[in-house]
Amino acid sequence: MVCVLCSCNRPAESRTQGYIEGEFVYVACPSAGQVQTLFVQRGQTVKAGEPLFAMECVRETAARDEAQHQLDQAKADLEDAKKGKRPTEIESMQAQLDQMNVALTFSEMELARQEKLAAAHAGTAQDLDNARSNRDQNRQRVTQMAADLKTAQLGMRSDQVAAAEQEVAAKTAALAQSQWTLSQRQQAAPQDALVFDTLYRQGEWVAADRPVIALLPPENVKLRVFVPEAQVGGIKLGQGVQVMVDGVSGPCVGKVSFISPQAEYTPPVIYSQESRGKLVYMVEAVFDPATAARLHPGQPVDVDFNP
């Protein structure tokens, strides 16, 4: 679709009056706050991704930083859960185990000596029992300390480690949520468009979900015309249409994009030949971006469906 720079010699009787309509894109922030910066002005053309406005974000920044610190702590707790005791604690437990092994060796030697004395009837039964009891106690202490040392080297149980991993996952999700909330405090253009209006000024308070910028993409500029019932039957979707605009040397060419299936201003009477002449149907047409840039919402135009 292009603008055709040529004169139109069709009689005015074949034309229908219409107007240019714009479907605006309203850009808002999902949470309330004060407008900190406006990056655009009315009438400015922006590209997709260019910043439009920024809201004050002290609270959201603090929430993001807090979520980051909590995630760091959860990761540290997870790493600690996977490790055993500190090396110095392991060394201390190993030294205690060595001492207990020495005591066990001594008690075994003492038991052997008491058994020889008892066999030679030179010792008492009580001394033999005491030596055997000491040997057994030292053996149990060595077994217990060896088990404690092995447990200290293993770290926490698997279920405790799993719980720490879930905590890290939860903190990661919380950080992602706070980062998204912070990112929404600055809005960018979703597509190439004209800045039709700025609805708030810098420093003003904006309620949640209230639009701050109104954009008009070129593809959202369209023709709207109401045609008589007798004429609508000859109009087809995709049909070419010529639009005559005041101040433009030639017609602008578009294509019919919508034909209303419902009549407008329908009289509440049984249709007669006279009342049928009052029926009109809304028809819309769209233009290519270059042509749309020359048109303005609310602009009255003359429309010819038989170019």
Q: Residue 81 in contact with residue 74, Cβ under 8 Å?
A: no
Residue-wise pLDDT for 129-150, tens only, equals: 888 899 999 899 899 988 888 8
DSSP label at 261? E
Q: How confident is the model at residue 263 (pLDDT cuts 50, 70, 90)?
A: confident
Give the integer Cα–Cα distance in Å for 180 and 178.
5
Query: CA nearest 243: which of 1, 68, 72?
Result: 1
pLDDT in tens, 176-190: 999 999 999 999 999
Tokens encoding 193: 């468009």
Contact 45, 194 (CB under 8 A): yes
- Which pLDDT score, from 0 to 100, does residue 156 have? 60
The residues, ordered by sequence, that sit 6+ positions from 126 with a Cβ below 8 Å of its Cβ are none
Alpha-carbon separation of residue 179 from 47, 174, 183 (angstroms): 24, 9, 6
Rounded to 10 degrees, the C-alpha dihedral 187/190/193/199 comes to -30
Residue ranges of the alpha helices (H) in the chain?
58-82, 87-119, 125-154, 158-183, 229-232, 273-276, 289-292
Which structural domains are found in the chain, ordered by start? 12-22+218-304 (2.40.30.170)
pTM of structure: 0.64
Q: Residue 171 has which token pair?
A: 């903190």
| Between residues 7 and 131, the one the model is more confident about | 131
